[in-house]
Amino acid sequence: MSEIATLGGGCYWCLDAFYRRLKGIQKVESGYAGGHTQNPTITEVYSGTTGHAEVVQLTYDPNIMSYHDILEVFFVMHDPTTLNRQNYDVGEWYRSIVLYHDERQQKIAEAMITDFAAKLYKDPIVTQLVPFTKFWPAGEDAQDFYNKNPNAGYCMAIIDPKIQKLRQKFASRLIA
């Protein structure tokens, strides 16, 4: 049985690259959620008028990777203390957001924010915790961007160091 998780932690290319390397993750799709515009385009999202965040939607096997584990990776691998930004990416669409699919996910996320993330960072956690409503997939060029474009400047400068961090912090959870 598979479950779904939807998370945003800055540019979706980073989260996409992380979760594709973890055991138990069956599917990773980059897209948009958390806003009010139906079927938003990338141009509309980046205009700041849709309310959407860049997110990844994960399909996972909870017997291999729990929702708690997914959130642990999420909070370690991005900075949940910066409002509407990650590194050089600035805008509300780059905000830290957890979109829960049910009450169980909500409770786990609340506990991870207060009991885990708050202890990792000295600054306050600004991650939004909101109910999931709808996911809008990004274009095909945004899917699996890191693996398709490993020599792109953004991948080498921003994602490569984060992949190294993922390998250091979560070696036992990586696909061999």
- List the catalytic residues: 11
Name every residue whose Cβ is closer than 8 Å to that of residue 69 and which is 6 or more positions away in sequence. Answer: 24, 173
Q: What is the dihedral of CA 26, 30, 32, 38, to 10 degrees?
A: -80
- Helices 12-19 and 160-169: crossing angle, nearest 10°? 40
| Kind of pairing between the strands at 96-100 and 3-9 | antiparallel
Instruction: Determine if residue 161 is left, alpha or beta; phi over 0 gives left, psi from -120 to 50 gives alpha, anything else beta.
Output: alpha
Residue 34 · residue 8 · CB < 8 Å: yes
Q: What gap in Å lies between CA 100 and CA 102, rounded to an integer?
A: 6
Residue type, 78: H
